[in-house]
Structure 1
């Protein structure tokens, strides 16, 4: 995975009912799900057309007792998992699962930034296949961090992944929304979380062709809307939702 350092390359849903979740996301996003065939573990692969985009698995035993809800996890490619995890820890982050190997797939670590937002580091054992266009249907078009503190969060990620500042939008009382870029391409935004949000988190926006139809599919499948549809700069439309098992996700589309 040369030349990928700092790029989001995989997304994983850990949930309580994988069969129900598979049915839900196949309907809402348009993915197709298939068993990964990994020995000793049930792992579902979500694909958009012929490109694998995300994975699905049952939450680890004891997670709910620890008040850890179902959630999406983003994997960021790095040149060296061990070295990046060490740098992250030295810069104030925490390594929650030490670097480990997935046989035949790659090496990973589960980490948090200094304020507690969870993500993963990853380096594959082979070159990654050609990626989908960023806004292709079924891909993840945007990555958003509700940060503990934007002023310190951005330098942390910039140092770790080489992300650069793009546009900054004044959100009034909500503060600044800082768009960030990877290799010159805007891939997400971050802002200081509202006080009523209990902890920082990453949110992932799945591309759909039309927002209203996807919202209806989400509602029909038992999902809930937590932030009503809104138009964002550039003419796209977004909505934030919770799936039937309680995981937060978002949708983005070029039209209603």
Structure 2
């Protein structure tokens, strides 16, 4: 079995980086750079900064050619693999699709794929910074605000998807929350860490997709900030196991996003 893969980076593709910076600054407390990162090689790519000095991910500005080619504002997750080319070959042989071939960047080798049901993700073999070869990414955290805290896959075939991610990324699946006629919300783990869940595609969802829930300090404050800053709440804050609350929204540029945190934090 493949060594269990972690989410090591998150990327917001957006048509308006400055607008996204204002929105996520108000809702989450992030600081998104005002211009392209000098190491991005001419692409408008900006880092997302947390208050603790770390990075929460990056922002890719969608240019006219990308938009004309069908790209749309969305959030994407990056899964760590030891060998991008081998992973591509195995995933393609298993019914996955390559959307962006293996590409070398200054930070590592990446590719964009979708699973057999059509949910899209990146894979990456990163090049760690000098002197930090053993450092692990901290963009995902089960508990911390300003990190992605939950990764949720809505799919047309939950059984097949769970088997796919187990085969290629080494995840486990243990435990579920029943949703009545809507089916089971099935938890997935990387070792003993709860990564998120796999659920059936809900009515009104256009296609299988990953959703990412960003940690906030206070769900009610965040909800008010979503609407005050041009976003739209699609599912109001709902209590989840453990006593915190989760909500779904669409940012002003059209990217679907989730938020999770305490009430009155």
TM-score of the pair, normalised by structure 1: 0.93
Q: Deviations over 1:125-171 (max 9, x none)?
A: 12345626432110000000011210111100111100001211111
Q: For residues 56 and 47 of structure 1, what CA distance do their matches in structure 2 show?
A: 11
Task: Give the aligned partner of residue 94 of structure 2.
Answer: 91
Task: Give the aligned partner of residue 23 of structure 1.
Answer: 22
Q: CA RMSD in A?
A: 1.7
Task: Give the aligned partner of residue 176 of structure 2.
Answer: 168
How far off is 1:5 after superposition? 4.7
Task: Give the aligned partner of residue 122 of structure 2.
Answer: 120
Moved >6 Å (runs of 4+): none
How far off is 1:253 after superposition? 0.2
* Structure 1 gaps, min length 5: none
Q: For residues 206 and 148 of structure 1, what CA distance do their matches in structure 2 show?
A: 24
How far off is 1:4 after superposition? 7.6
Counterparts of 1:117-196 in structure 2 under 5 Å?
A: 117-126=119-128, 127=133, 128-129=135-136, 131=138, 133-196=141-204
Task: Give the aligned partner of residue 7 of structure 2.
Answer: 8
How far off is 1:182 after superposition? 0.6
Most deviating of 204-213 and 131-140: 131-140
Most deviating of 30-39 and 14-23: 30-39
> Relative to structure 1, is the Cα distance of residues 201 and 4 closer, same or farther in structure 2, using a 3 angstrom cutoff?
same
Q: For residues 4 and 240 of structure 1, what CA distance do their matches in structure 2 show?
A: 31
TM-score of the pair, normalised by structure 2: 0.90
Task: Give the aligned partner of residue 48 of structure 2.
Answer: 46
Most deviating of 87-96 and 67-76: 67-76
Most deviating of 54-63 and 113-122: 54-63
Task: Give the aligned partner of residue 250 of structure 1.
Answer: 258
* Structure 2 gaps, min length 5: none
Task: Give the aligned partner of residue 37 of structure 1.
Answer: 38
How far off is 1:73 after superposition? 0.6
Counterparts of 1:47-66 in structure 2 under 5 Å?
A: 47-48=49-50, 49-66=52-69
- Per the alignment, in what secondary structure is the counterpart of residue 212 of structure 1? helix
Q: For residues 11 and 204 of structure 2, what CA distance do their matches in structure 1 show?
A: 26
How far off is 1:66 after superposition? 4.5
Task: Give the aligned partner of residue 112 of structure 2.
Answer: 110
Q: For residues 10 and 131 of structure 1, what CA distance do their matches in structure 2 show?
A: 9
